[in-house]
Amino acid sequence: MHGMNQIPASGATPAGLSPWRLELTETVKLALPIALTQLGQVAMMTTDLALVGRLGGDAIAAAALAQVILFTAFVFGMGLTSAVAPLAAQAFGARDPRMVRRSLRVGLWAATILGIPLTLGQMWGEELLLALGQQPKAAALAHDYLMGLAWSLIPAWWFIALRGFMGAVNRPQPAFWITLVAVPANFVIAYVLIFGAFGAPKLGILGAGVATTLVNLGMCAAALWVCYALHPFKKYHVLGRFWRYDGHLMKQLVAIGTPMSLTFLLEYGLFGSAGLVVGLFGASALAAHQIALQIAAILFMIPFGISLAATVRVGQEAGRRNPQGARRAGFVAIGLALAFMTIMTVLTVSLRDVLPVLFLDGNMKDAAEIVSIASWLMLLGATFFVADGVQTAMAGSLRGLNDTKIPMLFALVSFWVIGFGALYVLAFPLKLGVTGVWIGFTIGLIVYCILLVTRFHLLTARGYLPEAPKDENAFAKAKPLPAE
């Protein structure tokens, strides 16, 4: 099979290249298009926030609240569908193409089964926000946003699974090109639907949600077509007997993906809860918090891309039964994330008074206050940017080893016992307000980072490798690749 024959034997390196240098080269080649894909997706989110910002501070606050509800559902499914990448990468490293295909198939099944009830659950977002003490006006606006946004869950999860499959077979570029086209399309569709341009109905914040759903549907359809019809993906026959429920592999996906989902929920839940706490200090504080976090999210996407590449690289080496290669891949990913985030932290702090202005209409009555708060939060956030980059690269490396349960427990302790406890005490009893919130979750992130690095070091120092997913048919019996 094309691509499979290009995999070097365990421990083999081209002449003149050290194993570390080769790993750095391969990780960058894999991480760059993945990271650019992530940046493209954040660009769409940033575009939405910038357009919604033209509707006023209340709309920004409502968008922040709606995304808390949506992301709680989204990150749970993201864990399950992200488990496609380590399973498929290990199968690719083990030269088992049937298992590569089956890994993708169960990810698509999981996204669909989980997506139906969670999509319908978004309809009660307003009631939930009111129960959490949010202002009725903001909750009502958030509900409008969710009405359009909720339907994006399943196609977004499918795209994650398909992107994971592409990366696992060392061909992540199509996902980037699809996203690159989607960025301007999202801007045009969102602008038209939010403001009623070119004779379209003026939907306001609802239009932003509808635009996101339409773009996600288009991205999913394009990625599915690429994987089905184009070389080298079509050799895997990704839709071969798609209707067959694969109970055995689904159990493996759930065993790996559920702790990933819970870890994502614990992490994003901390930031979401921080947003709810900040919302108690007023709309301006919440808008500034959302803008500062959006800027941080843009920076985070490069380490997150490195993390996804680390999952693939570590997973492939695990499939080849090469523990030294897996350890090397993880530490190369840490080095890349550390270097990038250090540089970006310096730039962000230098531009902290300029960046928030890009998200606001300067004529808004509360614009100056929002910019002032956001600028301070970005300066404060410099203390966690580097730790956040390193922890996500390390988490991706551990996922390549199917090690997801212990990191989940680390997340519980770091984010909720330490992080949320600290932010609550600092924000209320010590009366530091929004500043206390940011200091609190920074402490949690730093603790989590230290625990993950220690975990990966201890596992790989003793040569740990997960048991590779097995297929009943050996690779040698799988030529040419049939449809099962």
Residue 12 inside a domain? The answer is no
* pTM of the complete model: 0.83
Which tokens hold the place of 314?
């570590």
Residue 10 inside a domain? The answer is no
Other Cβ atoms less than 10 A from the Cβ of 372: the count is 14
DSSP SS3 for 136: helix
What DSSP line would sit under 52-121, residue for residue? HHTT-HHHHHHHHHHHHHHHHHHHHHHHHHHTHHHHHHHHHHTT-HHHHHHHHHHHHHHHHHHHHHHHHH
Residue 118 inside a domain? The answer is yes
Whole-angstrom distance, CA of residue 422 vs CA of residue 439: 8
Residue 328 inside a domain? The answer is yes
Residue 482 inside a domain? The answer is no
Q: Is 237 left (phi over 0), alpha (psi -120 to 50) or beta?
A: left
Which pLDDT score, from 0 to 100, does residue 474 have?
A: 41
Whole-angstrom distance, CA of residue 111 vs CA of residue 95: 26
Whole-angstrom distance, CA of residue 337 vs CA of residue 392: 9
Whole-angstrom distance, CA of residue 309 vs CA of residue 263: 19
Which pLDDT score, from 0 to 100, does residue 135 have?
A: 76
Which pLDDT score, from 0 to 100, does residue 73 have?
A: 85
Whole-angstrom distance, CA of residue 65 vs CA of residue 137: 12
Structural domain count, the chain: 1
- Tokens 């498929």 belong to residue: 88
Whole-angstrom distance, CA of residue 459 vs CA of residue 381: 31
Residues of the chain with pLDDT under 70: 1-17, 361-363, 468-484
In order of 98, 285, 317, 401, the CA distances from 322 in angstroms are 21, 50, 5, 12
Which pLDDT score, from 0 to 100, does residue 481 have?
A: 42
Which pLDDT score, from 0 to 100, does residue 8 have?
A: 42
Residue 42 inside a domain? The answer is yes
Residue 345 inside a domain? The answer is yes
What residue numbers bound the domain in which 335 lies? 19-463
Which pLDDT score, from 0 to 100, does residue 314 have?
A: 96
Question: Are 217 and 155 contacting, i.e. CB atoms less than 8 angstroms apart?
Answer: yes
Which pLDDT score, from 0 to 100, does residue 242 have?
A: 79
φ, ψ dihedrals at 479, nearest 5°: -115, 130
In order of 86, 148, 312, 483, the CA distances from 399 in angstroms are 7, 33, 9, 29
Gyration radius from the chain CA atoms: 22
Residue 1 inside a domain? The answer is no
Question: Are 447 and 414 contacting, i.e. CB atoms less than 8 angstroms apart?
Answer: yes
What DSSP line would sit under 205-226, residue for residue? HHHHHHHHHHHHHHHHHHHHHH
